[in-house]
Structure 1
């Protein structure tokens, strides 16, 4: 039978308890934590019913936009206190221990952005953080969060004590290299994998030969197991593509005279501490190589074309970010802009390696000199900006968004230069500009490009979520699915122009996106950025919503989402042919779509139609109401009595709460469950349903309450196990005086099975005892009738 699944980590959309929790804020004031529904109602009131939100509390994802506070926030303690008061939105406990402020920055509009990283057992969790934004008046205006609320402690894979030095050695053995670029850097982070959090050492390994490599290697701290590797190099999608040659046009260069030699070194940005330096690898796979010099100030030979383009375009990228956003170089701290050209032999790629740009010459057919296209240069350098701001994880939707942001800003950088915006030119929108790689890809094929933002389908990219490509290759299709947000950006620029588009996307990237932001999250971030810059009811906000709706992400109009559903009753007892009417309450009350669907877990026992339940036969059935919007559920357990039996038991352990080692609450009345028994919390690890009992320890027992059968009865239960050798499950019955054996099972079904036994009318109780040599067994759905 199917069961309702209850968990303390229930989805944000279910109605939460109205009983307040008391927590202590960082300033020692008592902060009362309201229920989620109370919090949203408060925010709606403060925002004059214009609150915008996207919440999935079960996954710890929250996006809120509006007026969120009536108390002034002036410092980091106030920011933490705000999250403490509203922690029910995240299903997050113990904010003081779980969150620590990483940075707090005030921007040019007077907004302060407070980023709080999540910790488990004092260890920072990879990619989990909350960002609180408040305006110059101290009012909270936006919260973006992605936290882990199902895991409260660190798990172990072994019993060793791996040190940082051990982790470095383990990581180094994963690669073959001549020498490392620098001593490996090590950080301790909590890495979440398969529903568990592990203490790991993140070891950064970088070297240049035999090929440039830069990886973060995650080594689990109690076993030395490598549980993940992340490539830090951001290659362009044209690794196997084609392009056109450097165009031969004359470019103004900022160079440096050293003795009698002119160097490709631009020191005009010295006020910010940044220099532009261009090197050659001399067709070897090394970097940075040799600083390019010339006998005269005219760099006009064929062998220098790639370097001229790289050098000039690096300056354009710098000026774009500095003039529009006051960003001093890629890291906003004046880092040098280093480029290496003539990398390798016929190398058909360009990439950002985490600290500099690298360009191949191409093979002359698929690509020409890859430094010859400004949107390619802007694309790759923008990977550096992304890495030092949102740091979008290079996988699946966040990875495709990473690629898309580079494409979008790459095109905007190229048009910024093309229309001479720096010197007062008009920044035009022209559909033909919205391509990537057209100046270097397939040089012998006019009019070709690597990607089109105006029409992604021209180059085998989807332009709508209906055609999203699910794949395990290319880090989840990051260079394929980027076409969807690319098309949205094109539509935005078409609507509001290039300059506003650039400002919105930069602010959305640097202030509101996080490492795990997906496509819908990017829309939320961009809407918030447009709201900051132009107002909540502006044409710019509408342009974002309309563009994203056009590619199948979100809606062009603001809809009120369903956040929860409840029933007028959660249990009912009926006789055969009896009926009961169930009704739903949808929250919030003004939700746009209040439609629900009804289902019964056991139609032979009870059926349901539009909330009317009809009893068919003795037994139990779970009636479920599920909202069409968001898939939120509420359940009612219906027990149907029949004349054939005087007493029965049916326990699916629906209310048990615990872990794989202990049960914390929910043991049904009358049942005797010993220590050494835990709870399976999800159907994926129990094999059938959840919760389910997991018998872990030798001698652990489960004893039913007393019952009285009027005649012969039947015992049935579901069983699964991986026990081997001499493990056994003893099943006994009690007649009021003695326990006698029903069965002694030593061969357990590895995929789960339901077993049944006849009982005589004198049976009063059933006992299950697990004698363990190795392994475990899972026990569920014990029925006696």
Structure 2
């Protein structure tokens, strides 16, 4: 966080934000606390007291982005960036209080700056409310000409996630992981010394008769010879059958009479029913609970692919295709398409469109936890009697073969690998295990510590220091997490930074002296994040 800048720069940045706000606020924002979503009209959230803004149209969002990009040079000057730096606008969000949050990537001498992203915050009256940066380092390198020869598929970048920015190569190595998941491994190498600086994975792992949700209503489209799994109500989301292939889009799932699947893995349509239904429920959750128009906030639908490979026991999100992909399980009859899994995978796309948390170290754990948090929240929101909401991740898909869930949010270590509490080594864990700290935080914030039963499931959540945490309710908890993710976190946010981001979000939503803000602090302390 950079709270101070000189008066001239603050005024310039305020002027930029004011111009952008004109492009966004064509109506009157609802009075109240807001959740940070872009929009102009609102409806009250029933149990939290926060205001959920109406969904902004894609055209209005495009106007806001164009206005912000047009004014990016003035913003760069206001922020005191160097003459060789330029800002590229990724997102503009105006919250219920009229605060404009503008998210930028940076370039240096025309080269992408990895770890140079930042978010500016400008109040409705033009006051600067500060800047959140992925790095505080000044972006500068002695030369933009590499001393080493790059590989044919490498691009030259400025690596800004270390202590000092350096010229580097980014190479993408594609392949297949041991479990059959496609891999797009990004490797960052110092362009002067050849030293490996960083690596992260870009492919992020996790009326129909469904396998997990019973009989459900699907939004389909009538075609020339029957019906197809195209959801005209939600951006045109389509569900495809890969037919055990591992590449391409596959074949759009169709049916003659608009009755899909038989509820078992023996019918190929069943997996498509669950995937299509899960995508619809996730879209609706984003819309009604977060005030967000689809994954990227632009009304554009992703698509789903089912029947990936043979004996593939996983699911994944790939931002390059903007799609979710599901395997059929070890027996090829137990597709990984439960509601919380669908919500988890789509939420990797949400993270990519907002904070773009680096998929390694502590930020990678936060990335995975975000998908677990929203996956569980979607399951509660769906209110499906066959798959009621819980704080267990993947409990329906039986990925372990013994009926146990993949992860537990109330006490993550029950899975045998996840961390309950933060320590200085947590970033060294696999991201699916370091995510435990944030999952545990979310459970404590929503439900509190100690023993309780929710929807028939027993939980008993401890704290690192034996303290008692009183929950504020799930809806308030996920509104706080979403606002923190969408307007305060950056690509390099770690657990300490996540505490700061969620405290800012709680302050925005519920006030500086609120019980909700105090609960955020208590929950983080409960997982040893100071």
State if a TM-score over 0.5 links the two structures: yes
Cα root mean square deviation, aligned: 3.6
| In structure 2, distance between residues paired with 1:226 and 1:157 | 18
**Deviations 1:234-266, CA, capped at 9 Å, x for gaps:** 013xxxxxxxx9336111111122122221111
1 or 2, which has the higher helix percentage? Answer: 2
| In structure 1, distance between residues paired with 2:91 and 2:394 | 38
CA shift, 1:543, in A, is 1.1
CA shift, 1:115, in A, is 3.8
Asked if residue 320 in structure 1 is aligned to residue 285 in structure 2, the reply is yes
Asked if residue 234 in structure 1 is aligned to residue 204 in structure 2, the reply is yes
* Alignment-derived partner of residue 167 in structure 2: 199
| In structure 2, distance between residues paired with 1:130 and 1:544 | 24
* Alignment-derived partner of residue 456 in structure 2: none
Higher relative contact order (CA 8 A, sep 6+): 2
| In structure 2, distance between residues paired with 1:287 and 1:138 | 48
CA shift, 1:81, in A, is 6.8
User: In the alignment, is the contact (CA less than 8 A) between 1:151 and 1:195 conserved in 2?
Assistant: no
**Deviations 1:112-163, CA, capped at 9 Å, x for gaps:** 1234555555644211234231221222334322325377424579546x6x
Aligned pairs (5 A) from 1:628-639: none
* Alignment-derived partner of residue 132 in structure 1: 120
User: Are the structure 2 counterparts of residues 206 and 388 from structure 1 closer, same or farther at C-alpha, using a change threshold of 3 Å?
Assistant: farther
* Alignment-derived partner of residue 549 in structure 1: 525
| In structure 1, distance between residues paired with 2:256 and 2:190 | 54
User: Are the structure 2 counterparts of residues 144 and 125 from structure 1 closer, same or farther at C-alpha, using a change threshold of 3 Å?
Assistant: same
* Alignment-derived partner of residue 256 in structure 2: 295
* Alignment-derived partner of residue 536 in structure 1: 512
* Alignment-derived partner of residue 189 in structure 1: 157
| In structure 2, distance between residues paired with 1:28 and 1:251 | 53
| In structure 2, distance between residues paired with 1:378 and 1:28 | 40
**Deviations 1:638-681, CA, capped at 9 Å, x for gaps:** xxxxxxxxxxxxxxxxxxxxxxxxxxxxxxxxxxxxxxxxxxxx
CA shift, 1:380, in A, is 1.0
- Aligned-partner SS, 2:410: coil
Q: 1:276 aligns with which of 237, 246, 251?
A: 237
User: In the alignment, is the contact (CA less than 8 A) between 1:105 and 1:113 conserved in 2?
Assistant: yes
| In structure 1, distance between residues paired with 2:509 and 2:339 | 28
Aligned pairs (5 A) from 1:168-567: 169-171=152-154, 189-192=157-160, 197-200=165-168, 202=170, 212-216=182-186, 218=188, 229-236=199-206, 246-247=211-212, 249-269=214-234, 274-301=235-262, 302-354=267-319, 355-364=322-331, 368-371=334-337, 373-418=338-383, 433-442=390-399, 445-446=402-403, 448-460=404-416, 461-466=418-423, 469=426, 471=428, 476-494=429-447, 495-554=471-530
CA shift, 1:108, in A, is 3.1
User: In the alignment, is the contact (CA less than 8 A) between 2:199 and 2:360 conserved in 1?
Assistant: no
Aligned pairs (5 A) from 1:720-739: none
| In structure 2, distance between residues paired with 1:553 and 1:452 | 19
User: In the alignment, is the contact (CA less than 8 A) between 2:85 and 2:108 conserved in 1?
Assistant: yes
User: In the alignment, is the contact (CA less than 8 A) between 1:246 and 1:440 conserved in 2?
Assistant: no
CA shift, 1:294, in A, is 1.6
**Deviations 1:343-382, CA, capped at 9 Å, x for gaps:** 11110000001110000000149x92101x1111111110
Which of the two has higher C-alpha Rg?
A: 1
User: Are the structure 2 counterparts of residues 529 and 28 from structure 1 closer, same or farther at C-alpha, using a change threshold of 3 Å?
Assistant: closer
Segments of 5+ residues of structure 2 without an aligned counterpart are 14-70, 448-470
Segments of 5+ residues of structure 1 without an aligned counterpart are 1-11, 13-20, 30-74, 85-93, 172-185, 237-244, 421-429, 555-785
CA shift, 1:303, in A, is 2.0
**Deviations 1:254-295, CA, capped at 9 Å, x for gaps:** 1122122221111123xxxx2111111111222321111122
CA shift, 1:335, in A, is 2.3
Q: 1:108 aligns with which of 89, 92, 95?
A: 95
**Deviations 1:301-352, CA, capped at 9 Å, x for gaps:** 4221111000111011111111223322111112222111111111000000
TM-score, with structure 1 as normaliser: 0.50
| In structure 2, distance between residues paired with 1:440 and 1:287 | 25
- Aligned-partner SS, 2:434: coil
Asked if residue 141 in structure 1 is aligned to residue 129 in structure 2, the reply is yes
User: Are the structure 2 counterparts of residues 389 and 307 from structure 1 closer, same or farther at C-alpha, using a change threshold of 3 Å?
Assistant: same
Aligned pairs (5 A) from 1:46-57: none
User: Are the structure 2 counterparts of residues 481 and 253 from structure 1 closer, same or farther at C-alpha, using a change threshold of 3 Å?
Assistant: same
- Aligned-partner SS, 1:496: coil
